[in-house]
Amino acid sequence: MEMSETDPTAAKRQVWNAGRTVGAKRALKPKQIWEIRFYLNQRRRLRDRALFDLAIDSKLRGCDLVQMKIGDLVSGGQRSGSVCLNSL
């Protein structure tokens, strides 16, 4: 059984990630981490700095980080773990 030229599955499409690097990205270097912290402090982005510090300290992925809720960090009125938003 031959494929017809009008069959849409017969046409070869270019793969969406052709030529791109696939897999995990390189970890940030300490200098890059401090540059990001300095940038966020300069622009008084307290929430973003807290999320960035949480991500770096806990080694969470971005998709896991944005799904977190305050209730995940706060239990009984006290913060758990090393997360302290007042120290920023």
Instruction: List the structure tokens of 21.
Output: 């690097």
**Nearest alpha-carbon partner for 52 in 71, 33, 73, 30:** 33
Instruction: List the structure tokens of 11.
Output: 């046409």
In order along its 88 residues, the chain shows pLDDT tens digits of 565 666 666 567 788 888 888 887 788 899 999 999 999 999 999 988 988 888 888 887 777 877 877 777 776 555 555 544 544 4
How far, in Å, CA of 88 to CA of 84, rounded?
8
The pairing of strands 74-75 and 78-79 is antiparallel
Q: What pTM, to 2 d.p., does this model score?
A: 0.53
- Contact yes or no for 87/75 (Cβ under 8 A): no
Other beta carbons less than 10 A from residue 49's beta carbon: 19
